[in-house]
Amino acid sequence: MSKKNKSKNVTSIAIKINSVFVRKLFSKFLLIDIILALVLIGFWSVEREVSYYGEFVQSAKRVLNIFPIESANYVVTWSDGRSLVIDFTNFLIDLKNIMIPILIVEGVFLLQEIIFGTAKTRYILKPIDEIAETANRLSNMEFDEEKFQSLEDAILKISPVASNERIHIGDSELQGLEDAINKLLDRMRDSYRQQARFVSDASHELRTPISVIQGYANMLDRWGKDDESVLEESITAIKSESENMKNLIEQLLFLARGINGKTQLTIKEFSLNDMIREVFEESKMIDEKHNYSYIESEDIRISGDIGLLKQTARILVENAAKYTVEGESIVFRSGRSNNGDPFFSIQDNGIGMDEADVPHIFERFFRADTARVRKNGGTGLGLSIAKWIIDNHKGYFSVLSRKQIGTRITVFLPQNKI
């Protein structure tokens, strides 16, 4: 079988596996939503009955009229002739307000699996295909019982998740198979760690605004209809948390579109100095709590997508402001390196980072100082977006950071046109 046909087979299998997973995930979300809606309806109806009658009577006759929606009502009739008719429309509106954020989160997870799932599955299957090819090449070799036993013992001793051990039995004839299995183990471990961390961080980021929105929705249901201060506070909090969720989803979609090849660069020539000066001026205007300065060299003309490069500069400035106390300095620079490459940099004298954290700062949801970021906001996706932008401009980053001294991030761009 040709390599092209093998690649098609692996892709086809990956698509089928991912489709099954997405369908199961959708079914689980649907079941959870139905159960949640039923539980909320049950609590609501019991609370109204107890409030009116003094107790919950199981033998009472209950009728829920949902249609038409605008005149939906809940009717309870007790054996003593008393009856209660409750407007159900307002509860449906509150239920919708609670379910919409949950559906958005579920949609984000489904969208992530639809976009990235096939690629991840194919990436995991690729080493298996390589093992199959290696096994095929070894099929004509003569194996004695001792070799089989040595290989089996080596495999049984390692853990594909928690251990960093590698297979090594010292047999030159099995070297190719050893290398293939070790590469598979490395990829499985790395994929497992990244997936576990991404799911944990994404869930944490989305759970917080949903909890806040749900809490204020419940408070509105209890007191907000009659208390204007509660109403105002709830509206402000819900708007703020909705904006946070919107920003997170937009950043996830940006990365998804970029990886999927749907974000195209608009390349044109422009002045790097003018672009950085614009970001510098708007930063001074927006943030009066820090001291901004700009050190520039001669005018530098580059080719690139000015909108995306400006977005990168803004991301770096926002990060610098988050990690720098009020009254301290943030310095912009633009110029050329010793070998002539254009660059711009953002430097702060904030809290800095540990040396071990620096290689990970461009990973999605990575936080060098989780508590401080939670306090000041942010999604942990900004630098991932910046890296995608600079990678697609064929540039690179240089990061220098020291704890309690500060951080300088420099973006180097190619001299030639992209």
- Please spell the DSSP secondary structure of 69-135, one letter per residue: GGG-EEEEE-TTS-EEEEE-HHHHHHHHHHHHHHHHHHHHHHHHHHHHHHHHHHHHHHHHHHHHHHH
Residue 416 predicted with pLDDT over 60: yes
Which of 13-17, 95-99, 287-291 has the lowest average pLDDT? 13-17
* Greater model confidence, 1 or 163: 163
Q: pLDDT > 90: what percent of the chain? A: 18
Average pLDDT along the chain? 80
Residue 280 has a pLDDT of 94
Q: pLDDT per residue over 33-58, tens digit each?
A: 899 888 888 888 888 888 888 888 88
Mean pLDDT of 10-29: 84
- pLDDT value at 144 more than 70: no
Stretch 157-182: mean pLDDT: 69
pLDDT value at residue 398: 93
Higher pLDDT, 284 or 185: 284
Q: Check pLDDT > 60 for residue 295.
A: yes
**Of residues 194 and 74, which shows the higher confidence score?**
74
Tell me which of 343 and 250 has the higher pLDDT: 343
Asked if the model's pLDDT at residue 320 lies above 60, the reply is: yes
Determine which of 60-64, 78-82, 139-143 has the lowest per-residue pLDDT on average: 139-143
The pair of structure tokens assigned to 216 is 């204020």
Residue 277 has pLDDT above 60, yes or no: yes
Q: Picking from 86-100, 251-265, 276-290, 327-341, which range would have the lowest pLDDT averaged per residue?
A: 251-265
Q: How confident is the model at residue 374 (pLDDT cuts 50, 70, 90)?
A: very low
Range among 83-92, 151-160, 257-266, 406-415 with highest mean pLDDT value: 406-415
pLDDT at 370: 44
Beta bridge partners of 329: 291
Q: Which residue did the predictor score with more confidence, 96 or 373?
A: 96
CA-derived radius of gyration, the chain: 29
Please state the domain extents for the chain.
1-263, 268-412
The stretch 5-29 carries a mean pLDDT of 79
Judge whether residue 162 has pLDDT over 80. Answer: no
Coil, helix or strand at residue 188: helix
- pLDDT, tens digit (0-9, with 9 covering 90-100), for 188-224: 777 777 666 666 655 656 666 777 778 878 877 777 6
Q: How many CA atoms lie within 13 A of 37 on its CB side?
A: 15
pLDDT of 279 above 80? yes
Question: Does the pLDDT value for residue 165 go beyond 80?
Answer: no
For the chain, percent of residues with pLDDT exceeding 70: 74
Residue 2, pLDDT > 60, answer: no
Confidence of residue 331 (pLDDT cuts 50, 70, 90): very high
| Across 387-405, average pLDDT | 91
pLDDT at 372: 43
Pick left, alpha or beta for residue 361 (phi over 0 → left; psi -120 to 50 → alpha; otherwise beta). alpha
Task: Return all residues near 245 (Cβ < 8 A) that are at least 6 apart.
Answer: 101, 104, 105, 206, 209, 210
| pLDDT, average across residues 328-336 | 94
Q: pLDDT band at residue 173, thresholds of 50, 70 and 90?
A: low
End-to-end CA distance of the chain, in Å?
38
pLDDT at 395: 93
Mean pLDDT of 237-245: 75
Sheet strand arrangement including 329-336 = 291-295, 329-336, 342-348, 406-412, 396-402
Q: Does the pLDDT at position 371 exceed 50? A: no
- 14-23, 117-126, 255-264: range with lowest mean pLDDT: 255-264
How many C-beta atoms lie closer than 10 Å to residue 390's C-beta? 20
According to the model, what pLDDT value does residue 278 have? 92
Q: What is the mean pLDDT of residues 302-321?
A: 91
Nearest to 397 by CA among 344, 333, 354, 353: 344
Structure tokens at 100: 């919409």
User: Do the beta carbons of residue 184 and residue 127 sit within 8 Å?
Assistant: yes
> Residue 414: what residue type?
P
Would you identify the CATH topology of the domain 268-412? Heat Shock Protein 90 (3.30.565)
